[in-house]
Structure 1
């Protein structure tokens, strides 16, 4: 009986040791799924990104000792260093380092002087080979936040069924064949806290302001209130479309 128990405990011990390398391996692409889930409940996109960001995606290669992240505005690369505590330190060449740690199926980023603690999930939606960092987050966001079938309640093409695809294509929205949501950077600073998107047809497009409330999506003309020699400053103008998620 004692021998059987000893062998059992040894097996558990060895099994735990064998699983440690896999548990610590953080290679791959990780996205801020928490922010996506919060936005997809029907809240304003910028509120969700600010509450659970600022980082949107990590891309980690432990074998090469490299890690990089994007916050939607800048892409930052660093050197990945192992840590005895089971965490990984990312050195950004003179700026504040980040600490990453595998926590089950999630990747945890520890809080530091510049950023709060954040959590990331493995990216599940495939992106084209060679796609830039951030593409995985963007596709997951588009699929969840904009996915499904929408109906034009009012506006051009009233009654049309509208489909926003994960790759940025849109069908059924009059005068548009592609879209892109503003996540951060100049497009965000120019909209005065409002959510905005880019709509284009045959390569030509404009900025539009939108408001998401539950299953309703309002899209407004973006009116530039800045002078000719100033940075654009957009405010909501006349409503162009009211869409409802089916």
Structure 2
């Protein structure tokens, strides 16, 4: 009876070696867009060059996937297609295909959209993070992180710190900032990079120009009437910063 018993155990042992399906649940960010911008390039052009979506939230347990762009979140039903491959059905209006390739999540190209590559954030995203917030914080850190010296403008000679969570210190009375990643704020800026600067709930839009290690912040001149959508162009330069 020993040989049949050994054969049975061997068969059982072989069953335990069956690989489990990959789990892509969690947050994936458009790291290529962040790295392109972090080289000191114009922000909107860097984002546009790396595709429409900035972040994916995937939950294989509920079969849901959410794609976050700069101005909207698109929800879809996640369906397995093949090993390491899934489709995302956006309520019948469109369909994406996602493939897991080692440590990357690939969004395959469509007729109307180019392909994109996403990675897990490092460090991992916080539990319960709002859609789009993980990408934004990673971008803030890579694009504006570190110390900046004020070369010209109020507080010249001092230092400015842009924190990943949107807090700000050293730039006049402002204690909050938010980069415009697309949508209405980009349209109003007529292609110029814009950001919000404020203290508490009170603030304004500004136009900025990033070139390498320098950052110029300009007053935004609104050419529209009060009842029209703002159309902004750069006015006088308020600050010139240099990354240390």
TM-score normalised over the length of structure 1:
0.89
Deviations 1:52-111 (A, max 9, x none): 021000000011111001101111111000012531000011211000011111100000
Extract unaligned runs of 5+ from structure 2.
Answer: 1-13
Partner of 2:130: 132
Stretches of 4+ aligned residues off by more than 3 angstroms: 13-17, 125-131
1:245 corresponds to 2:221: no
Partner of 2:77: 79
Question: Shift in Å at residue 127 of structure 1?
Answer: 5.5
* Distance of 2:136 and 2:123 partners within structure 1: 10
Partner of 1:53: 51
Greater C-alpha Rg:
2
Choose the corresponding residue for 1:98, options 75, 84, 96. Answer: 96
Q: How many residues align structurally?
A: 231
Aligned pairs (5 A) from 1:140-159? 140-159=138-157
1:111 corresponds to 2:109: yes
TM-score normalised over the length of structure 2:
0.90
Deviations 1:101-132 (A, max 9, x none): 11111100000122110000102245555432
1:30 corresponds to 2:28: yes
Mean CA deviation greater in 125-134 or 217-226: 125-134
Partner of 1:214: 212
Partner of 1:3: none
CA contact (8 A) 1:81 1:89 kept: yes
Q: Secondary structure at the residue paired with 2:49?
A: helix
Choose the corresponding residue for 1:187, options 182, 185, 188. Answer: 185
Q: Secondary structure at the residue paired with 1:113?
A: coil
* Distance of 2:145 and 2:230 partners within structure 1: 30
* Distance of 2:15 and 2:243 partners within structure 1: 52
* Distance of 1:114 and 1:62 partners within structure 2: 26
* Distance of 1:112 and 1:179 partners within structure 2: 35
Extract unaligned runs of 5+ from structure 1.
Answer: 1-12
What root-mean-square deviation, in Å, do the aligned CA atoms of Structure 1 and Structure 2 show?
1.7
* Distance of 1:199 and 1:185 partners within structure 2: 18
